[in-house]
Amino acid sequence: MTVALGRGACGGHLTLLFTVDDQSEDPNFQGSLGAGICVADGVEAIARGQEGEYSLNVRFLSGEGDSNMYQQVLDLLCQEIHQFSELNWEVAIKMTLPPSQGFGMSAAGAIAAACAFQRAIGQPHEESLRRAYSIAHRVERMNSTGLGDVTALSAGGVERRLIPGSPYSGSNLENGPGVAEGWFESTPIVLAWRENPGRHTSEYIDNEKWKKLITDSGTEQMKILSGGVWNSSRWSELIECAESFSKDSQLASDASRSSLIEAGKNAAQRVGIGGDVAVLLCMLGESIAIVPRELGSAESLDLMITQLENEGLQALVTSVGKIS
């Protein structure tokens, strides 16, 4: 019996500031303006298909996830390519970052799985990647798990989202309506989070009060970040806008996130780099990203892991993800 095998991988995404743009009834036009950082760690998916009745078995090799999301990905693929419905499928998922902590893991998982399924049946690389982004965006909107993570990941690196919506859509998988830009410089980042998952993203983006606070704050910061060329010269500007957004949106004081920021600053002070790093909230988890204020000055970041653990947090060192 012929067995089809395919692999897909996608790094996570840290939203640093954003708006909620979900007024359109078409999910392809829903999304967010904003900015953030794509990271190297994320999700790897291995898909295996063989002749048999259509079904999907999802195995998580590390961490826990939402099996239903991967079924949604495969069902949408079946609607576009009938060959998927003729096979019995299994997908193994390996996550190197925790879900529900503001690391864009649902988007990364959907993209990785969609790529793995398509590569198993021999779909061309560029076409399968575009379709993966398109399907992942729709799944994110179906589940209210994200707004702009997929569009951000389609750009890669340090990104800004200039037009909300899916990065690819339509039968020809043409560009847009979503538009994002990214630039890359190899920079380590420390991620830290509480052991228990935070609130579901939908509790914020589907709540009118939070939606207004977030969108008003994000709009103000994007007035600063949307203009001009997007490159490494904007790094300090991004950090300042992210810090302002977390305060103005009131997200910094919700769910005890202020104590997370304080824990990160305390750890940095003990290592002796308190003035050299910024402690930024990852939206919308209960997590932080600790980044150098000046690119190229990332010495001693790895020494923070023990100090963060002493603060009761889990932590790891990752890096900026490359341009997609």
The answer to pTM > 0.75 is yes
pLDDT at 297 over 90: no
CB 95 within 8 A of CB 43: yes
Predicted local distance difference test score (pLDDT) of residue 302:
86
Top CATH class of 188-319 equals alpha beta
Predicted confidence band of residue 196 (pLDDT cuts 50, 70, 90): confident
Half-sphere exposure of 319 (CA within 13 A, CB side): 11
Comparing CA positions, the residue from 121, 131, 46, 134 lying closest to residue 86 is 121
* Mean pLDDT calculated for residue range 218-244: 98
Domain boundaries, the chain: 3-176, 188-319
Asked if residue 242 has pLDDT above 90, the reply is: yes
Q: Quick check: 22 and 148 in contact, CB under 8 A?
A: no
**pLDDT single digits (tens) 95-144:** 999 998 999 999 999 999 999 999 999 999 999 999 999 999 999 999 99
pLDDT of residue 86: 94
Residue 219 has pLDDT above 80, yes or no: yes
Measured between alpha carbons, how far is residue 308 from residues 100, 168, 261, 301 in Å? 20, 39, 11, 11
3-176: which CATH topology? Ribosomal Protein S5; domain 2 (3.30.230)
Q: What is the pLDDT of residue 197?
A: 66
pLDDT at 198: 64
Q: What does the block give as tokens for 5?
A: 């095998």
Give the integer Cα–Cα distance in Å for 247 and 263.
17
In this prediction, residue 1 carries a pLDDT of 59
Average pLDDT over residues 264-270: 95
Distant-in-sequence contacts of 272-277, Cβ < 8 A, 24+ apart? 272/300, 273/299, 273/300, 273/301, 273/304, 277/301
Contact yes or no for 99/89 (Cβ under 8 A): no
At residue 298 the predicted structure's pLDDT band, cuts being 50, 70 and 90, is low
Please provide the average confidence, as pLDDT, over all residues in the chain: 94
